Amino acid sequence: MQKHLSKLALAFGVLGVTAAMIAVAAPPPSAKKQPSFSNIGLTTGKPGGTLTLAIGSAPTTFMYYGAIDGAAQRVAQHMFNGLIESNLATGKIEPALAESWNVSSDGRVYTFKLRQGVKWHDGVEFTADDVVFTFDQIIANPEARGGDFANFSSGGVKYKFEKLGKYEVRITLPFSSGAFLVQMRTFILPKHKLLKFTVEGGGKAADINSAWGTNSDLKDIVGTGAYELQSYTPNQKVVLTKNPDFWAVDSKNNPLPYIDKLEYLVLVGPAAQEAAFKNGTLDALDISGAQFPDYKAQERAGAKWKVISQLKDAIYGSPPHLAFNFVAKDAELAKVFSDLRFRKAINSAVNRKRIIDDVYNGQAQLPGHMGVPPAGRFYADTTRYFGDFDLKAAGAALDAMGLRDTDGDGVRNIRAGKQLEFSLTYGTDSTIWVPLANIFQADFKAIGVKVNLKGVLSSTLLGTGLGSDWEAIMVALGDQPDPELRKPIWQPGGSLYYWNQATKPLAAGGPANFAKMTNWEKRLWEIFDKGTKSSNQNERLALYQEGQNILAQYMPVIMIAKPANITVVRDTLSNFVYSLGVIPGYNPVPFFYFK
- What is the rounded CA–CA span in Å between residue 273 and residue 282? 8
The domains found in the chain, sorted by start residue, are 40-286+565-594 (3.40.190.10), 320-563 (3.10.105.10)
Rg (CA), the chain: 24
pTM confidence score = 0.78
Q: Are 140 and 158 in contact (CB under 8 A)?
A: yes
Q: Which pLDDT band holds residue 23 (cuts at 50, 70, 90)?
A: very low
Whole-number pLDDT of residue 40: 57
Residues contacting residue 124 through CB under 8 Å, at least 6 positions apart: 190, 192, 222
For the stretch 358-395, what's the b/e string if a residue is b when 16 or more beta carbons lie within 10 angstroms of its beta carbon?
ebbbebbbbbbbbbbbbbeebbbebbebbeebeeebbb
Chain segment 211-239, per-residue pLDDT in tens: 999 999 999 999 999 999 999 999 999 99
Chain segment 346-355, per-residue pLDDT in tens: 999 999 999 9
- What is the rounded CA–CA span in Å between residue 384 and residue 390? 15
Residue 106 DSSP label: T
Residue 476 DSSP label: E
Residue type, 271: A
The SS3 of residue 256 is coil
Q: Are 152 and 131 in contact (CB under 8 A)?
A: no
Report the half-sphere exposure of 244 (CA within 13 A, side-chain side).
2
Dihedral over Cα of 21, 128, 72, 228: its sign: negative
Parallel, antiparallel or unpaired: strands 421-427 and 593-594 = unpaired
Whole-number pLDDT of residue 477: 85
- What is the rounded CA–CA span in Å between residue 96 and residue 534? 26
Q: What percent of the chain has pLDDT over 90?
A: 67
Q: Which pLDDT band holds residue 544 (cuts at 50, 70, 90)?
A: very high
Of residues 80 and 532, more confidently modeled:
80
Parallel, antiparallel or unpaired: strands 98-103 and 109-114 = antiparallel
Q: Are 170 and 162 in contact (CB under 8 A)?
A: yes
Q: Are 266 and 233 in contact (CB under 8 A)?
A: no
Beta bridge partners of 593: 574
Q: CB neighbours (10 Å) of residue 405?
A: 15
- What is the rounded CA–CA span in Å between residue 136 and residue 587? 25
The SS3 of residue 133 is helix
